[in-house]
A and B are shown apart, each in its own frame.
Chain A
Amino acid sequence: MNSGLINANPIVYGKKERRARTAPVDVDEYAAEPIDQLEIFDHIRDIKDPEHPYSLEELKVITEDAIEVDDTKSHVRVAFTPTVEHCSMATVIGLCLRVKLMRCLPPRYKVDISVAPGTHATEAAVNKQLNDKERVAAALENPNLVDMVDECLAPSYE
């Protein structure tokens, strides 16, 4: 493991505005509101980066446009952009995303996490690791990893 930080000086962007709740008067009682991009983004935007006290949104690791949702087909695809090409935290970030979405979406959803094309040196390997169910389950058995993931996810539950 490296002793220094992977990316000592990340560029910090601002946070986008949060969605406000519509007044209950306007809501039609029986109209269904399908899960959309913004909702998925709301779930993952506050996840903390493993190295810095900033959220993934602030570091522009994830953006709203990089999320594809299809509620009828129960499919979500998230593409995230690590801040540097050789980021070895990419797998941890991917794992955080997967765990958070697993906990926040109904069980019928299939989640695909991948690194945005062309932004990481070992893109293919990372993608393969992130989407392999057994490797993910094995990772979640590791208590150190679980602790790190929980620490990253803590701000996103507030």
Chain B
Amino acid sequence: MAEHFKTLWSSVKDATYVSPETNLSTEAGFMSEMGFQDSDIMKQAFVLLQELVQQSNGSFISLILEDEDIKIFMNSLNQYEDFDNIPIDIRQRLHAVGRIISVCVNTSIASCNKVFESFFPLLMTYLGLSVAKPHENSCLAEDYNPPGRLNFGALYLCVEVLSACRYLVGSDELTPIPDFANQTWGVMLHNVSKSLAMVFISLLRSNVAENSQNAYVCYGVKGLQNLATFPGSLLAVSKSTYDSILLKLMSVVTSDINKTFLWTLAMNALVEIGSFLDKCPDSERLSSYESIVVEKIFSLISSDDSNMPLSLKLQAAFEIGATGMNFMLRVVQGLDEAISATLSAVYAHGNRKSVEPTVKLLEYYSNKVLPWFHKSGGSEEIPLNFALSIWDKIENNRSFNLDSLENELLDATMMAMKQAVGSCSEGSQEKIINKALGVLLSSNCLQWMESISGNTPSEAEGLQQIHKLDSFAIRDEWITSLFASIVIALRPQTYIQNGKFILQFFITTLLNGHVPSAQALGSLVNKLPLKITGTPLSKNLCLDEAVDMIFHSCIWTSYNGSTYERGSSEIDLSSLRLCSLSPESDKIHATIGLAWIGKGLLMRGHEKVKDITMTLLNCMISDGDRGSLPNSKHPSLVCNDEDLHHQLMKSAADAFHIIMSDSESCLNKRYHATIRPLYKQRFSNTVMPILSTLMLKYDSPSIRSMLCRAIAYVVSDTPLTAILSEAKKLIPLLLDCLSMMVEDIMNKEIIYSVLLVISGILVDKNGQDAVAENAHSIVNQLIELTTYPHMMVIRETAVQCLAAISELPYTRIYPLRTLVLRAMLKALDDPKWVVRQEAVRCRQAWASIASRSLHF
């Protein structure tokens, strides 16, 4: 084998050094870097080289190290100082030599020694350092600036050598770390490490022009990262060097925020160092990292330092924290304190400037930190304490000095609360809800509740004053909203104390228009256990009781004023209307409540959802009830009555949207909802026949438009497979809906979803038969939609559907050809490019189904 070494080496050299076939990697961000991508030949050449070096025990290495070309190249490195002046082929050679040397280094200790002996002093000289007498290196001075430009070739090779050494030492993970203090290369490295670190640090400091700066900066940071992540104890890199590296990187992160390239590199280096520490912990380094990096991050978050924008601070904090659990705990501590401080500022002093940072902090907490903890299996102490501390704060601030509700802040707090509660176990959730209940009971929320229970018709008018929103003070609304957030995120097994009271409370607040209460009610009925085993006197709430309570509440009384018996399963549907004596606005809020409650019941498959659906339908078609309302006593309500009535019908129709669609804010998997499979299909199968019979029955345009809305909402959220089986019956219905909804500009989203359903039917084979039967009406409606002025995607989808229709059997569609072509002529002139493109395709499709001339 040995006799072939020479030939082998010359062929490897040919492939890599003499005529390398590397391609510049196409990452646009690093155009000035040495980002070369090796061709396959080169990759295999390097693999061969590694094998040879490993097997030859030193003889091959000597071949390489004594090679003339390599020597000449190394000696000529000082010609090319500036990175920009290095021509491409020299850069390629540099890359190849770098790879060759790193392969030699990381194969074995002996080879590493040899390489170091030959090349290292030379490299150091180019960098202006002395290996033999490290103490005399000028770079050890405090503000060292390299004279002139640093030799890039030497820098690059040096960094490559360092990473190869690191790889060599680190690869022997299981065997004890070899004592490389006695190895030649270990000694050399140890001597120079401090100076090297200083040189790298100075690179980060220099203020040269941007472009060429990038390459130097990149390799400077890489070198620092390699030094800092050197495995083994601090034999190679001393503690002071390590500290200075960390200090420099941190200072870049905190002060050089405008130099994004440098900032990102430094950030990534710190993250790498952190994860390395997490994998191979070392007590001394750990303490350095903690004191320098983590503490600084901690103080950053808590301070009001406006040098760094908050989002950058949070990003830095999260990335450093994500490297290890201990770091994250510290970061979370800092975040907790910051949130606590800003919230106090907002609550107690009404400081409006603190609102925005608080919102950011809370969003970061709920979107990044809490999911990270959940994923990494952290303990639930963090979310538990977070939730409890917020409630503490609310309890301690008896009066909020807020002028307005601060919706953004309230939303962010609710989201964070939901996330926190959702990731806790049952026991912690019980603690949270008990605490919150305590705060609720001691607040003012209840004073108007007592007057509402026992609602009789004669007191209705007196109650109307209490129903006004202004008396619902800001603090009370906050408490109610946050309490609702907790209930939304509970697990089904969590025990809820005072369940009946909570239920009644939510029913009352819901009538005031508080939507989160409605969502909370929905979540409750979704998750409550069906029956409680044990003593019947227990205070546990079970589902049947809850449903009874809701049905007997002031939401529902029979129109005639007589309530039905408690516990009877027969409910007279015709009398199931909303309490006709409360103001219409309350009815609107009640429909929203019913929608969420219905959704909760539907998702678990409870049969009472039928009653709710019936009530909603009655609301939609109740056109003639207005005469019976005692409006004469309230003249101010008369002129608004039609409007409100219309709104009531609309919100009943929109209730179907709430029931069918997926919501991000509650009743989903994240918040532990009970979901029975195929619930949407089941609902659709029950409701659609009723809706279509109602459509046939009623003539009044207002009722029909509401029914159309409801149908549209139900159909667009039903899975396509369920629709395809009913396609024949559904298509005429959908077309009616489309024609009714086109008149109102607010309907564009619904129109688009219905159009998507139709296009889904069109592309399916079974659906195409149904379409072919109704081809004429579909084409007419689609042509009308191609000129819909308010939404481009509707026009585009309509044209695409028309193009798809051209594939149907010729006998069905040829009568429509001229109609479509005429419509396409108009569509060719559409203001939007996308629609025009589709129109060209559609026109060609329709024109080619017949060989008649196109001029008509």
Residues of chain A touching chain B, judged by Cβ–Cβ distance below 8 Å, are 21, 24, 27, 29, 31-33, 35, 39, 43, 103-108, 157
Residues of chain B touching chain A, judged by Cβ–Cβ distance below 8 Å, are 790-793, 825-826, 828-829, 831-834, 836, 840-841, 843-844, 847, 854
> Are B828 and A33 within 8 A (Cβ)?
no
**With A104-B828, A105-B828 in contact, is A39–B833 under 8 Å at CB?**
yes
Chain B residues lying within 8 Å of A106, measured Cβ to Cβ, are 825-826, 828-829
> Are A29 and B792 within 8 A (Cβ)?
yes
> Are A157 and B792 within 8 A (Cβ)?
no
CB distance from B833 to the nearest CB of A (A): 5
> Are A27 and B840 within 8 A (Cβ)?
no
> Are A108 and B829 within 8 A (Cβ)?
yes
CB distance from B740 to the nearest CB of A (A): 22
> Are A29 and B791 within 8 A (Cβ)?
yes
Chain A residues lying within 8 Å of B792, measured Cβ to Cβ, are 24, 27, 29
Chain A residues lying within 8 Å of B834, measured Cβ to Cβ, are 21
A107–B376 Cα distance when bound, in Å, is 64
A95–B66 Cα distance when bound, in Å, is 72
> Are B833 and A33 within 8 A (Cβ)?
yes
Neighbour of A43 across the interface among B791, B825, B829, B840, CB < 8 A: B840
CB distance from A50 to the nearest CB of B (A): 20
CB distance from B255 to the nearest CB of A (A): 35
A43–B829 Cα distance when bound, in Å, is 15
Q: List the 3 closest pairs (A to B, CB-CB), nearest first.
A: A106-B829, A32-B831, A106-B828
A103–B790 Cα distance when bound, in Å, is 27
Neighbour of A157 across the interface among B790, B825, B829, B844, CB < 8 A: B844
Using CB atoms, name the residue of chain B closest to A43: B840
> Are B825 and A33 within 8 A (Cβ)?
no
Chain B residues lying within 8 Å of A157, measured Cβ to Cβ, are 840-841, 844
CB distance from B787 to the nearest CB of A (A): 14
> Are B790 and A29 within 8 A (Cβ)?
yes
> Are A33 and B831 within 8 A (Cβ)?
yes
CB distance from B26 to the nearest CB of A (A): 15
A32–B829 Cα distance when bound, in Å, is 11
Chain B residues lying within 8 Å of A24, measured Cβ to Cβ, are 792-793
> Are B829 and A103 within 8 A (Cβ)?
no
**With A33-B831, A33-B832 in contact, is A104–B840 under 8 Å at CB?**
yes
CB distance from B276 to the nearest CB of A (A): 39
Chain A residues lying within 8 Å of B854, measured Cβ to Cβ, are 103
A40–B854 Cα distance when bound, in Å, is 21
Pairs across A and B, CB under 8 Å, 21 listed = A24-B792, A27-B792, A27-B832, A32-B832, A33-B831, A33-B833, A35-B836, A39-B836, A43-B840, A103-B840, A103-B843, A103-B844, A103-B847, A103-B854, A104-B828, A104-B840, A105-B828, A106-B828, A107-B825, A157-B841, A157-B844
A107–B834 Cα distance when bound, in Å, is 18
Chain B residues lying within 8 Å of A27, measured Cβ to Cβ, are 792, 832
A33–B792 Cα distance when bound, in Å, is 12
A157–B841 Cα distance when bound, in Å, is 7
Using CB atoms, name the residue of chain B closest to A42: B837
Chain A residues lying within 8 Å of B825, measured Cβ to Cβ, are 106-107
Chain B residues lying within 8 Å of A21, measured Cβ to Cβ, are 834
Chain A residues lying within 8 Å of B793, measured Cβ to Cβ, are 24
Chain B residues lying within 8 Å of A43, measured Cβ to Cβ, are 840
A3–B791 Cα distance when bound, in Å, is 55
CB distance from A72 to the nearest CB of B (A): 13
Chain A residues lying within 8 Å of B790, measured Cβ to Cβ, are 29
Using CB atoms, name the residue of chain B closest to A105: B828
A143–B790 Cα distance when bound, in Å, is 43
A105–B792 Cα distance when bound, in Å, is 19
A86–B847 Cα distance when bound, in Å, is 35
Using CB atoms, name the residue of chain A closest to B826: A106
A31–B187 Cα distance when bound, in Å, is 70
Chain A residues lying within 8 Å of B832, measured Cβ to Cβ, are 27, 32-33
Chain B residues lying within 8 Å of A104, measured Cβ to Cβ, are 828, 840
A29–B828 Cα distance when bound, in Å, is 18
A108–B843 Cα distance when bound, in Å, is 17
Chain B residues lying within 8 Å of A103, measured Cβ to Cβ, are 840, 843-844, 847, 854
A103–B847 Cα distance when bound, in Å, is 10
CB distance from A108 to the nearest CB of B (A): 7
Using CB atoms, name the residue of chain B closest to A36: B833
CB distance from B505 to the nearest CB of A (A): 41
Chain A residues lying within 8 Å of B840, measured Cβ to Cβ, are 43, 103-104, 157
A105–B840 Cα distance when bound, in Å, is 8
CB distance from B848 to the nearest CB of A (A): 9
A108–B829 Cα distance when bound, in Å, is 9
A31–B830 Cα distance when bound, in Å, is 11
A39–B834 Cα distance when bound, in Å, is 11
Q: A32-B832, A157-B841 are in contact. List 6 more A-B contacts (CB 8 A).
A: A21-B834, A32-B831, A35-B836, A39-B833, A108-B829, A157-B844
Chain B residues lying within 8 Å of A29, measured Cβ to Cβ, are 790-792
Chain A residues lying within 8 Å of B836, measured Cβ to Cβ, are 35, 39
A24–B793 Cα distance when bound, in Å, is 9
Task: Output the residue of B793, B829, B854 with the most chain A CB within 10 A.
Answer: B829
A35–B834 Cα distance when bound, in Å, is 11
Chain B residues lying within 8 Å of A107, measured Cβ to Cβ, are 825
A124–B793 Cα distance when bound, in Å, is 46
Task: Output the residue of A31, A104, A107 with the most chain B CB within 10 A.
Answer: A104
Chain A residues lying within 8 Å of B826, measured Cβ to Cβ, are 106
A107–B821 Cα distance when bound, in Å, is 12
Chain B residues lying within 8 Å of A105, measured Cβ to Cβ, are 828
A105–B830 Cα distance when bound, in Å, is 10
A39–B843 Cα distance when bound, in Å, is 17
A117–B201 Cα distance when bound, in Å, is 64
CB distance from B825 to the nearest CB of A (A): 6
Using CB atoms, name the residue of chain A closest to B840: A104
CB distance from A153 to the nearest CB of B (A): 9
Chain A residues lying within 8 Å of B843, measured Cβ to Cβ, are 103
Using CB atoms, name the residue of chain A closest to B829: A106
A21–B796 Cα distance when bound, in Å, is 13
CB distance from B807 to the nearest CB of A (A): 15
A39–B841 Cα distance when bound, in Å, is 14
A157–B826 Cα distance when bound, in Å, is 19
CB distance from B298 to the nearest CB of A (A): 38
Chain A residues lying within 8 Å of B791, measured Cβ to Cβ, are 29
CB distance from A132 to the nearest CB of B (A): 17
Using CB atoms, name the residue of chain A closest to B847: A103
CB distance from B806 to the nearest CB of A (A): 13
Chain A residues lying within 8 Å of B841, measured Cβ to Cβ, are 157
A104–B826 Cα distance when bound, in Å, is 11
Chain B residues lying within 8 Å of A39, measured Cβ to Cβ, are 833, 836
Task: Output the residue of A29, A35, A105 with the most chain B CB within 10 A.
Answer: A29
A29–B749 Cα distance when bound, in Å, is 14
Using CB atoms, name the residue of chain B closest to A19: B833
